[in-house]
Chains A and B, each alone.
Chain A
Amino acid sequence: MIDFIWLVLFLVGIVTAMFTGNMSKVADAIIHGSERGVTLSIGLISVIALWLGLMNIAERAGAIAWLSKLLRPVARFLFPSVPADHPAMGAILANMSANLLGIGNAATPLGLKAMHELQTLNPDKDTASDAMCTLLAINTASITLIPTTVIAIRMQYHSQHPTAVVSTTLVASAIGTAFAIVLDRVFRRFSRRRRAA
């Protein structure tokens, strides 16, 4: 799937450039795109290091265990294949609460940790497990309470109501997340049936 999408993005781009005369821009995009990929990754070091450090403190202090207890029923329903006392469960719960708080920067390293733990439970190492797909569904849809970046940009553009977007975002992201969870369940059932056949 990823092979196909990757190829299509390149081929459609190059063929389109033949007709639109944008070939020089495409050549430029190839060179500078890779540069941006590296810059982006390097830029992530600061954020990931900061939140991994803070979360290490929270974890050792027992905050994750406390949070896990609170959200456990939800996570159990969403991740039936993960044992309740497995480290993956703790990381999933921490990732879910970071997403909920809208601290997206913190959610990524926690999600990566959860993914790493889920991989230890995964029998087929290059294929995504059911739990991994669910984790992604929750992360890509993500209920957001406070969209910090958007509010900051709205302020810069002299919005009279920069935080008005909080309420609309809550409604929209709650609907999106509910759909993501339902879709995940539907696709999971379909994929199982196909695998069994």
Chain B
Amino acid sequence: MQNIMSAASEWLLPLIVGSILLFGFVKRVPIYNTFVDGAKGGFATSIKLIPHLVAMVVAVAVFDASGAMSILVKLLTPLLQWLHIPPEVAPMALLRPISGQGSLAFMVNIFGNSKQGPDSWLGMLASTMQASSDTTLYILTVYFGSVGIRKFRYAMGVGLLSDFVSVLASVFAVSLLSGMIHV
């Protein structure tokens, strides 16, 4: 089963690309020119994102570099413990909606810890948290920024609340399945 799953994750991307190309060819679509035509839009879309990403990345970098992030984590630790969220993953949970790379760095940190490692309970929890949610603030910024939406209404509240639920659900899922998959 393990082999099938890891093969699936490696094969998935090439298989998707291959079947799109083959499907287009069979349907007599001029695949090369159609690809180039569509890909052109990638440049304009990315360039439009620059001001939005510069604004958000700088703000998060300032918040983190000042030490405010680690103070926030310390303040929230008792609450997180009460919710059965280990303090070791607290900074990761807080950073997850703000920065995908930031929370990934915390996950790698847990993997690299000789006492823990990726197969430990904590390692599984960090993996699941990273995989089951997304960088909410980034998505909000990018998606709304690309069409010029300035008033987000309730979208940020829904996004952040469901991130919180995802963290709790990760703790639940790892607790539930850790017995079955022998971590």
Contacts and interface: CB of A to CB of B under 8 A. Distances in A.
A176 B66 contact: no
Contact of A41 (B24, B36, B49): B49
B54 to A, nearest CB: 3
B63 A28 contact: no
A162 B26 CA distance: 37
Interface size class of B (residues with CB under 8 A): 35 or more
Interface string A129-167: 000110111011110101111110111011111111111
A112 interface: yes
B155 A128 contact: yes
B41 A137 contact: no
B162 A172 contact: no
Contact of A164 (B13, B59, B65, B183): B183
A176 to B, nearest CB: 4
Contacts of A158: 117-118
Contact of A40 (B21, B57, B97): B57
B34 A60 contact: yes
A90 interface: no
B158 A183 contact: yes
Interface in A32-85: 32-34, 36-38, 40-42, 44-50, 52-58, 60-63
Contacts of B63: 9-10, 12-13
Interface string B150-183: 1111111111011101100110111011001111
A27 B26 CA distance: 57
Given A41-B49, A180-B158, A127 B149 contact: yes
Interface string B54-90: 1111111111111110010000000000000000000
A25 B158 contact: no
A148 B159 CA distance: 22
B46 A45 contact: yes
Interface residues of A, number: 107
Interface string B1-42: 010011011001100110011011011010100111111111
B92 interface: no
A60 B36 CA distance: 13
A176 B162 contact: yes
A33 B57 contact: yes
Contacts of B24: 57-58, 60-61
A166 B173 CA distance: 11
A116 interface: yes
B159 A136 contact: yes
A156 B112 CA distance: 10
A120 to B, nearest CB: 9
B20 A150 contact: no
Q: Which of A1, A168, A187 has the largest number of chain B CB atoms within 10 A?
A: A168
Contact of A191 (B130, B153, B163): B153
10 contacts: A10-B59, A10-B63, A22-B66, A36-B61, A128-B149, A128-B153, A136-B155, A154-B111, A173-B132, A176-B162
Interface of A: 1-2, 5-6, 9-10, 12-14, 16-17, 20, 22, 25-26, 28-30, 32-34, 36-38, 40-42, 44-50, 52-58, 60-63, 101-104, 108-109, 111-112, 115-116, 118-119, 125-128, 132-133, 135-137, 139-142, 144, 146-151, 153-155, 157-169, 171-173, 175-177, 179-180, 183-184, 187-188, 190-191
Per CB-CB distance, the 4 closest pairs between chain A and chain B, nearest first, are: A56-B38, A49-B42, A147-B131, A33-B61
